[in-house]
């Protein structure tokens, strides 16, 4: 492994195993927890660490996103999410995440042009869409088409060429919105709408989703600002499941489109990006505030697989700052579309209020996360629940590509290869002990 200068603390971590003591360096982070470097543990002590779900393991070094889960803080490259949501726009945030600082006006203008140059998809991708069933989940199309981009854009597959890497990241961000909109149009049986490069990223996405051959969609500044804020809030979230998947896939040298397709797959699950769809469906199932108690009891019952979707987080043990911003936008968007008293929003607010008074949720520090309110806004804009995770994926292409780039450019980058605690059989003789179960 190549050496890298790190911010060492004076202290060392000591680990005693069978009367032998081993010492490990501790690196200081700019903010947040320090880390013990145990990368030499196996070679010096012939033992592994065991940490399912990486609850105590830093899998990489990163300068991109900082979260303080106890205080409910989220920062991209040092900037508070609240400030970015108010003052920035999505493409500026993409630029910030990828390049490390805020662009000046000239750089931003140029970057917007570079992104919009890539909003179109290769014409043959239309044939690709036509192979999907109309009733397929749009995330199924997203996974497939994202991976397929590697067959169309072969001039940006060389991960060792910095220019190709940058071009690939711009293609991924720009084309993800077009793919997402096409997946939506395909699922509702309408023809695809071409991107319009004079529009902003968010306006263009709304245009591609809601214009049709007979009618141009009139873009409301309130809705496009809400859409843009949703994109900003979902742009990155340090080493979550899908980002770690992108990094792991990329660590083998796989091309960027394949890596991002792996991230889309990981995001799809209901414990991760799929929670926004699940949260709205849960609110619809609960139906009325009268049923809240019944569902809270289900959530608390360990024998019941039901969880309060849009609640809880691996890192936030406080209110998710993204949920706070979205809660504030909700009413504005609902008023704008003419829903003065949305029963689903009322139910969500009641549910939050009651849950946050319950001992179970207080003790486990379970608060609303980003997925609790985003679905209510997206539904008011006009999206069906199946599109919510697609929208999350479009936004997260920013973080995935920034994290993938950081990983490739890290001098100590090596293939990710976790170890295991093996608890299977010891050596067996073939043919003896055949299974007696009839259940497989």
**Residues ≥6 apart with Cβ < 8 Å to 350:** 289, 292
Closest CB 157 distance from ligand CMC, rounded Å: 29
Nearer CB in complex with ligand CMC: 153/361: 361
Nearer CB in complex with ligand CMC: 235/370: 370
CA distances from 268 to 99, 132, 272, 402 (A): 27, 18, 7, 20
The verdict on whether 313 is a catalytic residue reads: yes
CA distances from 232 to 95, 114, 266, 276, 395 (A): 12, 19, 20, 16, 7
Closest CB 125 distance from ligand CMC, rounded Å: 27
Which has the closest alpha carbon to 197: 112, 123, 124? 112
Nearer CB in complex with ligand CMC: 225/272: 272
CA distance 304 to 107: 53
Closest CB 215 distance from ligand CMC, rounded Å: 34
The verdict on whether 342 is a catalytic residue reads: no
Q: What tokens appear for 330 in the block?
A: 């909700």
Which has the closest alpha carbon to 170: 245, 236, 120, 231? 120
Nearer CB in complex with ligand CMC: 84/370: 370
State the SS3 of 18-40: CCEEEEEEEECCCCCCCEECCCC
Of the candidates 228, 313, 320, 342, the residue annotated as catalytic is 313
**Residues ≥6 apart with Cβ < 8 Å to 58:** 35, 239
Nearer CB in complex with ligand CMC: 115/395: 395
Q: What angle do CA 365, 236, 180 make, to 5 degrees?
A: 115
Which residues lie near ligand CMC (CB under 6 A)?
53, 240, 271-273, 275, 299, 307-314, 364, 366, 369-371
Closest CB 115 distance from ligand CMC, rounded Å: 24
Q: How many helices (H) and strands (E) does the chain have?
A: 18, 6
Closest CB 320 distance from ligand CMC, rounded Å: 7
Catalytic positions: 313, 371
């Amino acid at each position: 492994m190549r050496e890298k200068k790190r911010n060492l603390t004076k202290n060392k971590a000591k680990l005693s195993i069978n009367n032998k003591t081993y010492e490990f360096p501790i690196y200081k982070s700019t903010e947040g927890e320090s880390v013990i470097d145990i990368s030499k543990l196996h070679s010096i002590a012939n033992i592994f660490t065991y940490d399912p779900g990486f609850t105590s393991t830093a899998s990489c070094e990163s300068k991109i996103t900082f979260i303080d889960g106890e205080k409910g803080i989220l920062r991209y490259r040092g900037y508070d999410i609240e400030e970015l949501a108010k003052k920035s726009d999505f493409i500026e945030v993409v630029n910030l995440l990828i390049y490390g600082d805020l662009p000046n006006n000239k750089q931003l203008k140029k970057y917007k042009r570079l992104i919009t140059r890539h909003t179109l998809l290769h014409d043959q991708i239309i044939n690709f869409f036509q192979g999907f069933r109309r009733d397929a989940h749009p995330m199924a199309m997203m996974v497939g088409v994202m991976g397929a981009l590697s067959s169309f854009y072969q001039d940006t597959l060389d991960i060792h060429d910095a220019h190709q890497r940058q071009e690939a990241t711009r293609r991924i961000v720009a084309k993800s919105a077009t793919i997402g909109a096409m997946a939506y149009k395909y699922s509702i049986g309408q023809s695809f709408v071409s991107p319009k490069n004079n529009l902003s990223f968010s306006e263009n996405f709304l245009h591609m989703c809601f214009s049709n051959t007979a009618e141009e969609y009139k873009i409301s500044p309130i809705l496009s600002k809400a859409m843009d804020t949703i994109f900003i809030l979902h742009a990155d979230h340090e080493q979550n499941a899908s980002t770690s998947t992108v990094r792991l896939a990329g660590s083998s040298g796989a091309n960027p489109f394949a890596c991002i397709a792996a991230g889309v797959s990981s995001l799809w699950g209901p414990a991760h990006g799929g929670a926004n769809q699940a949260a709205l469906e849960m609110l619809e199932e609960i139906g009325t505030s009268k049923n809240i108690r019944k569902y809270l009891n289900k959530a608390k019952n360990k024998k019941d697989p039901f969880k309060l979707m849009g609640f809880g987080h691996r890192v936030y043990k406080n209110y998710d700052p993204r949920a706070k911003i979205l809660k504030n936008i909700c009413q504005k968007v609902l008023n704008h579309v003419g829903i003065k008293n949305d029963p689903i929003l009322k139910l969500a607010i009641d549910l939050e209020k009651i849950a946050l008074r319950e001992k179970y949720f207080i003790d486990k520090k379970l608060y609303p996360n980003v997925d609790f309110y985003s679905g209510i806004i997206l539904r008011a804009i006009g999206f069906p629940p199946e599109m919510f995770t697609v929208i999350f994926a479009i936004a997260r292409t920013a973080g995935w590509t920034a994290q993938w780039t950081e990983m490739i450019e890290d001098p100590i980058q090596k293939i990710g290869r976790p170890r295991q605690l093996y608890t299977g059989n010891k050596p067996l003789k073939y043919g003896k002990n055949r299974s007696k179960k009839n259940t497989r």
